[in-house]
Amino acid sequence: MMRTNSKYLLLTILSFLYVSLLQAQNKPRVIVSSDIGGTDDDDFQSMIHYLMYSDRFQTEGLIASPFGLGRKSDILHIIDLYEKDYSKLAANSQGFPLADELRAVTKQGGIERAPLKGWANSSEGSSWIIYCAKKESDQPLWVLVWGGLEDVAQALHDAPDIADKLRVYWIGGPNKKWSADAYQYIATNFPKLWMIEANATYRGWFADDKTDKATNVNNFYDAYIKGKGAMGSDFVNYYGGRIKMGDTPAVAYLLHGDPNNPAGESWGGSFESISHSPKRLFKASTSLNDTVPTFSVMEWEFEGKENAIHPDSSCFVMEIANQQFEGYYKGDGRYAIRFVTKSAGKWKYRIKSDLPELNGQEGAFVSADPWPGECQEGDITGLIQWWSDRTDQGDFADGHQGANTIFRFQEDFLMDWAERWKWLE
């Protein structure tokens, strides 16, 4: 009898381990690259959401890539809250990683924007992307980018052979203007990279449905989050609890839908294939007679005197929309800067520099939907596995291209999340 019970126990344990292994193999391998702690608090909300669904993923990395403002300590802060709520989460679903497991894969990414060439120095984060990508696995490595592309660009520069191992879902839009040079490098040198470039689609996550429903983004905190766990207590510190979470669609894309089919419906949006990315090169200041597609890379190249400074050195700034962007010396008396508009409209800029031939130059331009528009000479071409926001007018929401492909599911994905908040009561 004793021997039979021991045999039964052994079979039970082996069966449990086998099922656990199968479940782990079926979970997407994920690295999150976040600008958490920077100028926008929505990443704190998104990180809470991600950890509340971390039973659905193999979390291989959490990288802070904040351009000098936030640090990985901001990710660790959310993990500390998660640890306090862990027992209640784990009581409702198997597979939640231990807090120490998450801490072990939390890394610091680059803290500076890439210069004109699009890459600079390796970081803990970029090296971790390489390490994870080179693991033996039958699955791709999903890199969900909630901020700049610097660590992805650096990883690809340092280890070009990992490109076919990656699947990148990038929340572009406003992030793209800060990563124009890294983006230019990736799109030009790795046109076969599997990439979803969500420049406007993500806005459907937090669009106001203009109702008094509990799932309205202004009401959701009071209805479902308030008073629930350590993470719930912290959530109100970001936008007063109003749902923003513009980066969460990168996660939701893997939660509901077929991630192998970007053109299909999912909580993270539906996208159309693009074969080019617009780039406009100007040899002088622009005017309102110059129109570019929204989200396109704009590059100005100014002529000046030859300079003794090292090429790729920052030596002027462009002031635009109350922000400053660095320009660089290319050598041979040429100076260049790249910028990406985050929305349609009229834009004005002014150049500031210690170099008199550059200082004080002013200009303007117009950006217009939809992106990417018709392919023109100078565009980045040859994109093979690249998808972006749908251009059909029926897929616009609140004036944002493609956003309705997420907004139409807003009540569904928020109510699914609400069920998880109940676990923390």
Low-confidence ranges of the chain (pLDDT < 70): 1-25, 67-70
CB atoms inside a 10 Å sphere around CB 275 = 14
229 & 316 share domain: no
403 & 260 share domain: yes
130 & 230 share domain: yes
Which helix (H) or strand (E) segment is 220 a member of? helix 220-220
Asked if residue 219 belongs to a domain, the reply is yes
Asked if residue 414 belongs to a domain, the reply is yes
Domain hosting residue 344, numbered range:
278-375
116 & 245 share domain: yes
Using CA atoms, how far residue 65 sits from 35, 70, 114, 161, 395, in Å, is 5, 8, 12, 22, 31
Asked if residue 44 belongs to a domain, the reply is yes
Per-residue pLDDT tens digits for 338-375:
999 999 999 999 999 999 999 999 999 999 999 999 99
Q: Phi/psi at 398 (nearest 5 deg)? A: 55, 30
165 & 257 share domain: yes
pLDDT reported for residue 16: 41
Please confirm whether the linkage preceding 372 is cis (ω < 30° from 0). Answer: yes
103 & 134 share domain: yes
205 & 338 share domain: no
Q: How many domains does the chain have?
A: 2
Torsion of CA 324, 330, 332, 333, to 10 degrees: 0
37 & 114 share domain: yes
Asked if residue 307 belongs to a domain, the reply is yes
**Model confidence, pTM:** 0.93
Contact 43, 35 (CB under 8 A): yes
Q: Using CA atoms, how far apart are residues 360 and 423, in angstroms rounded to an integer?
A: 58
Going by C-beta distance under 8 Å and a sequence separation of 6 or more, which residues neighbour residue 151? 33, 63, 65, 109, 110, 123, 125, 126, 129
Going by C-beta distance under 8 Å and a sequence separation of 6 or more, which residues neighbour residue 91? 423
Asked if residue 380 belongs to a domain, the reply is no
Helix (H, G, I), strand (E, B) or coil at 194: strand
